[in-house]
Amino acid sequence: MELSVQPTRADHRIAWLTALAITIHIAESALPNPLPGVKPGLANVVTIAVLCLYGWRMAAWVSLLRVLVGSLLLGTFLSPTFVLSLTGALCSITTLGAAHLLGARLPGAGFGPVGFSLLAAMAHVAGQFYCAYWLFIPHAALFTLLPVLMSMAVVLGVINGIITRTMLQRVTP
Amino acid sequence: MTRADIVVLVLALALLPMLYVKFWHHGAAGDEVRIMVDGKTYETVSLKHDRRVTVHGALGDSVLEIKHGAVRFIASPCPSKYCIHSGWLHDGGEFTACLPNRVSIEVTGARARYDAINF
């Protein structure tokens, strides 16, 4: 029996965008990070852009595939780093889904890239933090880090959002 | 930025100070320091007045400095100087010890920061 899969246009688009996100993810992992636990998360620019352009389903695919393939390429698959990365991605994509649904019901334009990026960054840090607390370091002292990590999430979330907005202004006529 | 974006940004900025207050807030400032030698109370000194206290321990004299409602070891005849490196103690329940010299100090106050400490 022959099994053939016909990739659709959407599948190709997911593959291309995921490849772009993975490239950014790998490039970013080569950057030194002076603060442990803090990284720019530039690959999420792609996730947010996809969310704004093609909707939530495609953004979820791109985000989760990027975490999976990125971890295979960096050799962190199934390591604690991967678990934290996946938790962060799941939390932010869930939050983005909720924000996307909510935005459609709100009067006005709903959320823009900056709002999405900020929500995603904060959900990512919150999810990852609780995961680190429950699975790896169940010590109350860890919570001292949370305000710092959250501050960085807000700053970097807004910066990534502005990058996404600028990028979208250039790609969409 | 859309209106929803601005609402989210404002909420996020409001959340941050709350996080700092919740997770970085320490216990209430202490009133007195209890100095113990060999586990027995040697002297209880108020933190209100700046002064130096010399405590006679098993090895020799440990010197404590009290300043601006806080206390620290500034000299002790021990090899490792862990007591000096613990720095200033401000809050009720904070504790440090110079084990070789058998001297320990505990800040007492209305609210203790810790229930128990072990090293």
What are A71-110's pLDDT values in tens digits?
999 999 999 989 999 999 999 999 999 999 998 887 777 8
Contact A112 B16 (CB under 8 A): no
**Residue bearing the bigger pLDDT, B115 or A170:** A170
Supply the ipTM of this predicted assembly: 0.85
Residue A132: the pLDDT is 92
The whole-angstrom distance between residue A117's C-alpha and the CA centroid of its chain comes to 8
Q: Domain count of chain B?
A: 1
Could you tell me the CATH number of the domain that includes residue B83? 2.60.320.10
Could you tell me the CATH number of the domain that includes residue A97? 1.10.1760.20
Whether A106 contacts chain B with CB within 8 A:
yes
User: Is B100 contained in some domain?
Assistant: yes
Nearest to A122 among B2, B4, B12 (CB): B12
**Chains A & B: contacts with CB separation below 8 Å:** 53
User: Is A33 contained in some domain?
Assistant: yes
User: Is A2 contained in some domain?
Assistant: no
User: Is A22 contained in some domain?
Assistant: yes
- DSSP secondary structure of B59-71: SSEEEEEEETTEE
- Residue A59 structural domain: 9-171
* Long-range residue pairs from B62-68, CB within 8 A, at least 24 positions apart, any chain: B62/B98, B62/B101, B62/B103, B64/B33, B64/B35, B64/B105, B66/B33
Provide, rounded to the nearest whole percent, the portion of chain B with pLDDT above 70: 90
| B8, B10, B26: best to mutate for the A interface, most A CBs within 10 A | B8
Cβ pair A14, A79 in contact under 8 A: no
Note the pLDDT tens digit of each residue in B23-76. 887 667 788 899 999 988 999 999 989 999 999 999 999 999 999 889 999 999
Residue B113: the pLDDT is 65
Q: Write out the two tokens for B93.
A: 């329940």
Q: Domain count of chain A?
A: 1
pTM: 0.71
Over chain A, what is the mean pLDDT?
91
- Residue B46 structural domain: 32-108
Helix (H) or strand (E) holding A43: helix A43-54
| A145, A150, A162, A163: best to mutate for the B interface, most B CBs within 10 A | A150
